[in-house]
Amino acid sequence: MIIFCEECGARNDLSSDSLNDHHHTFQCSQCHEVLMVSKPSMGVGGLNAFAKMSVECGAKGALNRPVSILIVDDSTLLRKIVKEMFSGDDQLQVVGEAEHGLKALELIPELKPDVVTLDVNMPIMDGLTTIKHIMIKCPTPVVMFSTLTGQGSVETFDALRYGAVDFLQKPSSLLKEDLKSQHELIISRVKNAARAGIDTIRYLRPAQVNRDKMNNDNQACKRVFAIGSSYGGYGSLLGLIPEIKADVPAAFLSTLYAAAPHVDAFATYLDRHSQLAVKRAADGMALVAGTCYLASAFERIEVNEQGGKLTLNLESKADATPRQACDAMMTSLSATLSERASGILLSGIGEDGIAGIGAILKGGGNAIIQDPQTCLCNDTTAITAQQFGLPTVLPGVAMAEAIRTHCLDGSL
């Protein structure tokens, strides 16, 4: 479980098993403030509603009861459209509506919805302010649902950083997909959001990040980590990269299942909130320790080593389907660096990354797998951990510490 200290904003990771009682006290790892956490109820509604149910990410799943939803939007017409859309699926149930964030905060403790769909622009209290209060007062899976929350928008990245589990654009005839396809996507993602938050408690006051980037040009790059993620990749990287110290003697590569312009925007955003330097990967770019390089799944990224220097080979494949992009990146890294290569798998759906982790392990490298119960979608991580008999690691601080330990002594 992920706990953000309300005093200093530091992130603390607790094992679910440690919450044996209804209340649990612990000291913040950063400021040592004594905090109390209430273990979520296993009753109807709330974060643990789907703890024992098998729900396939973005697909059909046998639910014991409908997913309860609170719709928060200042438009009466939009609330009606969304409610009708959800009402057409017997696995969903709209239990309440709110026209602004303040009203939503009043209703959530009373209704205990499984999911809150939240607009960004609203009077009295906007969506981004609302999500901060939700994560502090009554943690609940939130899907940002707005014309502003498309891929590549600052509002989307802010929402994910504050604790939203997913983002969607409101249905519109102006979008590329037909309305029926849009509705099916929204419904499947809302169902998955209900499952996603079961093992996560968040209350958040973001810590300040030192914006002065270190000059790591002369620091030895002992290891390169290839980070694989697909569905939920933005949120997973926002939970990991800002936690890694800039002096770590390693470089990081990651492919995102997003178009190149969206990756450009995310690299800029992530760089502002991270101690690592975050750069958009480019062909011929030299790999430097303390830096994270982001590429699109529509690009083929490889690592070359010549004269002791590591460089990127980046080839655009804009007309291709972005399949197995993580596998290709990891396989290339393993072929070049052997035991100096490491793979990290975060939230994802499908098989991309599984073969890549296998290649890294076969080449003498190591792998870090995110705890499947903390992933927005755990298809890839659960299968990989089982197939290779790998332990899993909590996201955030725990994973950043595992990375540092691995760089220092070569073990996990």
- Please indicate, yes or no, if residue 51 is contained in any of the structural domains: yes
Question: Would you say residue 250 lies in a domain?
Answer: yes
* Residue 134 vs residues 20, 116, 380: alpha-carbon distances, Å: 24, 10, 29
| pLDDT interval class at 153 (50, 70, 90) | confident
Whether 267 and 391 share a structural domain: yes
pLDDT of residue 394: 86
- Sequence-distant (6+) residues with CB within 8 A of 355 are 324, 327, 331
**Based on the domain organization, do 241 and 297 belong to the same domain?**
yes
User: Is residue 355 in some structural domain?
Assistant: yes
Neighbours of 406 (CB within 10 A): 19
Same domain, 121 and 46: yes
Looking at the structure, tell me whether residues 231 and 327 fall in a common domain: yes
What's the gap between Cα 30 and its chain centre?
Answer: 23
Res. 406 pLDDT band, cuts 50 70 90: confident
Kindly tell me if the per-residue pLDDT of 65 is higher than 70: yes
| pLDDT, the chain, mean | 79
Domain containing 245 — which CATH number?
Answer: 3.40.50.180
User: Is residue 207 included in any domain, yes or no?
Assistant: no
Q: Pick the last residue of a domain from 158, 177, 196.
A: 196
Residue 55 confidence (pLDDT) above 50: no
DSSP 270-315: HHHT-SSEEEE--TTPBP-TTEEEEEETTEEEEEEEETTEEEEEEE
pLDDT at 267: 95
Least confident of 250-259, 371-380, 385-394: 371-380
Instruction: Note whether 107 and 98 are within 8 A (CB).
Output: yes
Q: Is residue 202 part of a domain?
A: no
Mean per-residue pLDDT, 341-348: 93
Same domain, 98 and 243: no
Residue 411 has pLDDT above 60, yes or no: no
Residue-level pLDDT at 17: 47
Query: How would residue 206 be classed by pLDDT, with cut points 50, 70 and 90?
Result: very low
Q: Give dist(CA 133, CA 101) in Å, integer.
A: 9
Q: Which of 202-206, 262-266, 287-291, 294-298 has the lowest mean pLDDT?
A: 202-206
Residue type, 210: N
Report the domain count for the chain.
2
Domain boundary among 144, 179, 196: 196
Write the CA distances from 179 to 36, 80, 152, 201, 264, integer angstroms. 45, 16, 22, 34, 29
What is the per-residue pLDDT for 368?
95
Residues 243 and 138 both lie in one domain? no
Q: Is 174 in the same domain as 241?
A: no
- Is the pLDDT higher at 325 or at 409? 325
Whether residues 192 and 227 fall in one domain: no
Domain that holds residue 157: 40-196
- What pLDDT was estimated at residue 308? 81
**What pLDDT, on the 0 to 100 scale, is given for residue 324?**
85
Contact 134, 113 (CB under 8 A): no
Instruction: Answer yes or no: do 356 and 403 share one domain.
Output: yes
Within a 10 A sphere around the Cβ of 308, how many other Cβ atoms? 7
**Co-location of 109 and 249 in the same domain:** no
**Domain end call among 152, 180, 196:** 196
Residue 194: the pLDDT is 83
Residue 29 has pLDDT above 70, yes or no: no
Does 240 share its domain with 295?
A: yes
Question: Over the stretch 345-358, which tens digit does the pLDDT of each residue have?
Answer: 998 888 899 999 99
Is there a domain that residue 64 lies in? yes
Is pLDDT of 27 > 80?
A: no
In a domain, 2, yes or no: no
Whether pLDDT at 208 is above 70: no
pLDDT at 293 > cutoff 90: yes
Give the CATH number for residue 148.
3.40.50.2300
Question: What is the percent of the chain with per-residue pLDDT over 70, rounded to a whole number?
Answer: 73
Burial class (CB in 10 A: 0-12, 13-18, 19+), 55: buried
Split at pLDDT 50, 70, 90, the class of 60 is: very low
Whole-model pTM: value is 0.77
Among 2-11, 293-302, 403-412, the range scoring the smallest mean pLDDT is 2-11
Q: How far apart are CA 241 and CA 341, in angstroms?
A: 18
Most trustworthy range by pLDDT among 9-23, 35-49, 238-252: 238-252
239 and 171 both lie in a single domain: no
Structure tokens at 410: 């070569």
Q: What is the DSSP string of 212-271?
A: -----TTS---EEEEEE--TTHHHHHHHHGGGS-TT-SEEEEEEESS-HHHHHHHHHHHH
* Residue 59 counted as domain residue: yes
Whether the pLDDT of residue 43 is over 50: the answer is: no
